[in-house]
Amino acid sequence: MPRLEEHCWSRSCASRVESKHFSGGNWVASRAEEMMSIVTTVLSNAYGSLHSVRTANLIRRGLVLFTVGVVLALVLNLLQLQRNVTLFPEEVMATLFSSAWWIPPCCGTAAAVVGLLYPCIDSHLGEPHKFKREWASVMRCIAVFVGINHASAKLHFANNAQLSLTLAALSLGLWWTFDRSRSGFGLGIGTAFLATVITQLLVYNGIYQYTYPDFLYVRSWLPCIFFSGGVTVGNIGRQLAMVSPKGHNVLFQFRHNLDFGH
């Protein structure tokens, strides 16, 4: 963690790095990434080759979630850029993708962690998520999430309180429509809280800023976005976890038996 902080500082000195709301979880994310890698190694060592399939599966899911996080970060960042919700130095504006290179990976890692955490918690609580477990629903969830971001960036509200209340209602609606599980709610709240704190810290340290801060240093709708983001990513993670554990490995066992005459 200190290493990363230092890294952030050096970046901020060099080129006034900006950040996006979703990237707020980057510290936790990368710390958890390290933890995850440790856990992965421990797991693979402990279970040995017996469970290599499971580990590979975990890594695959993590990769998918990481990609999703990266793409969402880029896209939603652009949405925020358009409305000058976040301010950055001009150089960043000119070369958006190159200077903020560390944001998408951080978001991706955060997404991977949250997305892996959801099914994990589900299995620990012993209540597998059965509500609307299909890809179409997941897609719908993502679309609504992007829509919430869109609304936060593009709509003109009378005041910030109205905007925040609307977004909070929308986020709760998202959770109720696509999740409806206690663990999902709890984890979403946790994600929102943690990410908001981290964003506050980032802004406090001057790494970037919001145009009209009304909640200490950030916008008050930020927790809602984090919450819905957590729920969305968790939704994806659960779906991935449900699809993956099919035992395809057995299929390849007798693969060579097929070749007649070979």
Partner 1 sequence: MTVRERLREKISAAFYRHGLLCASYPVPIILFTSASILACCYPLLRLPLPGTGPVEFTTRVRDYTVPSHEPQGDLGERPDWYRGPPVAYIQQVLVKAAVSPWDSTLVPVDVFRSPLGRVFSLLEEIRNHVHNDGSGVRSLEALCLQVTDLLPGLRRMQTVLPEHGCLLVSPGNYWQNQRELFDSDPDLLKTVHQHEPKGLHTTATLRDLLFGVPVKHTGVSLYSRKRVVTYTITMVLGSYDARFLSSLRARLRQLHPSVNCSLREDQMVHVHFKEEIGMAELIPLVTTYIILFAYIYFSTRKIDMVKSKWGLALAAVVTVLSSLLMSVGLCTLFGLTPTLNGGEIFPYLVVVIGLENVLVLTKSVVSTPVDLEVKLRIAQGLSNESWSIMKNMATELCIILIGYFTLVPAIQEFCLFAVVGLVSDFFLQMFFFTTVLSIDIRRMELADLNRRLPAEAGMPLPKPGPLRPREAPPPPRPSPHTITLQTPAFRNLRLPKRLRVVYFLARTRLAQRFIMVGTVIWIGILAYTDPAGLRTYLAAQVSEQSPLGEGGAGGLPPHLGVAPGFPGPGGDPASTLSVLPAPAEPTPLPENQSQGHHGAPRDVPLQTQAPPLVPQISWGAEDEEGWRKLSFRHWPSLFSYYNITLAKRYISILPVIPVTLHLSPREAIETRHPQDTRHPPPPSLKTNDLPADLTLYKVAALGLAAGVLLVLLLFCLYRVLCSRNYGQNGVAHGRRRRGDLPCDDYGYSPPISEISPLLLRGHSMDIECLASDGMLLASCCLAGQIRVWDAQTGDCLTIIPKHGLRRSSSSGCWEQRDGWDAMGVAEPENLGGGTEPGGGVFDEDEGYPLRRRTTPRPALFENQPDLTPLIDTNFDSQPPSHLLLTPPRDGFDFGGLVERAYLEHEPPSPGLTASYPSSSPLSGPPPQRRRSLGYIQPPVPQGQGTPDWESAVWAMELRGNLIAAGRSSGKLELWDAVEGSLRCSNEDGVSGITALAFLNNRIVAARLDGSLDFFTVDINKPLGLLQYRGPPGRSNMPPSPCYSSEDVISCQLTRSVQCAHQKPITVLRAAAGRVVTGSQDHTVRVYRLEDSCCLFTLQGHSGGITAIYIDQTMVLASGGQDGAICLWDVLTGSRVSHVYGHRGDVTSLVCTTSCVISSGLDDLICIWDRSTGIKLYSIQQEVGCGASLGVISESLLVTGGQGCVSFWDLNFGDLLQTVYLGQSSDGQGVRQLVVLNNAAIVCDFGSELSLVYVPSVLEKLD
- Quick one: 56 or 169, whose CB is closer to partner 1? 169
Nearest residue to 217 via CA among 226, 225, 208, 229: 208
- Quick one: 124 or 262, whose CB is closer to partner 1? 262
Under a CB-based contact definition with an 8 Å cutoff, are residues 234 and 179 in contact? yes
Residue 161 is a binding residue for partner 1 (CB under 8 A): no
Under a CB-based contact definition with an 8 Å cutoff, are residues 106 and 25 in contact? yes
Min dist. Cβ of residue 178 to partner 1 (A): 11
State the DSSP code for 210.
Answer: E
Residue 126 is a binding residue for partner 1 (CB under 8 A): no
DSSP H helical segments within the chain, as ranges?
2-15, 26-47, 52-82, 90-94, 96-99, 103-125, 135-154, 160-178, 182-204, 222-243
Near partner 1 by CB under 8 A: residue from 46, 49, 50, 254: 254
Nearest residue to 231 via CA among 148, 175, 166, 151: 175
Q: By CB under 8 A, which span of 40-48, 103-111, 151-159, 204-212 interacts with partner 1?
A: 151-159
* CA distance linking residue 16 with residue 173, whole number of Å: 36
Residue 134 is a binding residue for partner 1 (CB under 8 A): yes
- Quick one: 30 or 69, whose CB is closer to partner 1? 69
Residue 135 is a binding residue for partner 1 (CB under 8 A): yes
Taking the alpha carbons at both ends of the chain, their separation in whole angstroms is: 57
Site residues for partner 1, window 177-216 (CB under 8 A)? none
Residue 158 is a binding residue for partner 1 (CB under 8 A): yes
Q: Which residues bind partner 1 (CB under 8 A)?
A: 71, 74-76, 78-79, 81-82, 90-91, 94, 96, 134-136, 138-140, 142-144, 146-147, 150-151, 154-158, 162, 165-166, 169, 173, 245-248, 250-262
